[in-house]
Amino acid sequence: MQSLRDHFLLAMPHLEEETFKGTLSYICDHDDNGTLGVIVNRPLSLTLDGLFDQLDIDASQCRHLEMPVLFGGPVHQDRGFILHRGQTAPWDSSLQVSDDIALTTSMDILRAIAEGNGPEHFIVCLGCAGWQADQLTEELKENTWLTVEATTAVLFETPPEMRLQAAARHLGVDLTLLSREIGHG
């Protein structure tokens, strides 16, 4: 199976598991060892202002204090995962996902955002989603997910609550019209 890195996973309407029901996940890494992604459409009641306050970070220069922090997934919920446009440098702990998107987990990027020196386009998630080797492949065979190549417009220019339908439109699909029944030929 080809890598799904830099793709969206759209939860099918019949997916009832609360953690992933109605979600849009962005895949950051996908290889023979497993898959790593973040849910990008589930805002928490926490804003960046509240997060910076909890972390005791001076955010007086931040232009994004009202931005919601997102529930990124059920794994490592106590860790921040910052999805952003640009390259990994100069951040301490980053993964370059595509030519234009990176995932950073180090505090230095949060401090830079608070100081007004961080990337212009970013999403802050608490937690991530992970699949063991071949687990996602099996879930795709079971019609649990739709996949589509990711776009920066959906990630960084679309409000979180509209991202799932925006990604579905790239497939030419209206998720509200899909049947909850699974068919196998």
Q: For residue 1, tell me if it sits in a domain.
A: no
Give the domain range for residue 123: 7-177
Quick: pLDDT tens for 16-30. Answer: 889 999 999 999 999
Pairing of strands 7-11, 145-149: antiparallel
Q: Is the pLDDT of residue 95 over 80?
A: yes
| Overall domain count for the chain | 1
In this structure, is residue 91 part of a structural domain? yes
Query: H/E element holding 52?
Result: helix 48-54
Q: Is residue 111 part of a domain?
A: yes
Q: Give the CATH number for residue 149.
A: 3.40.1740.10
pLDDT at position 94 over 70: yes
For residue 182, tell me if it sits in a domain: no
Distance CA 105, CA 72 (A): 12
Per-residue model confidence (pLDDT) at position 96: 93
d(CA 21, CA 11): 6
Position 184 in a domain: no
For the entire predicted model, the pTM comes to: 0.92
Q: Would you state the pLDDT for residue 23?
A: 97
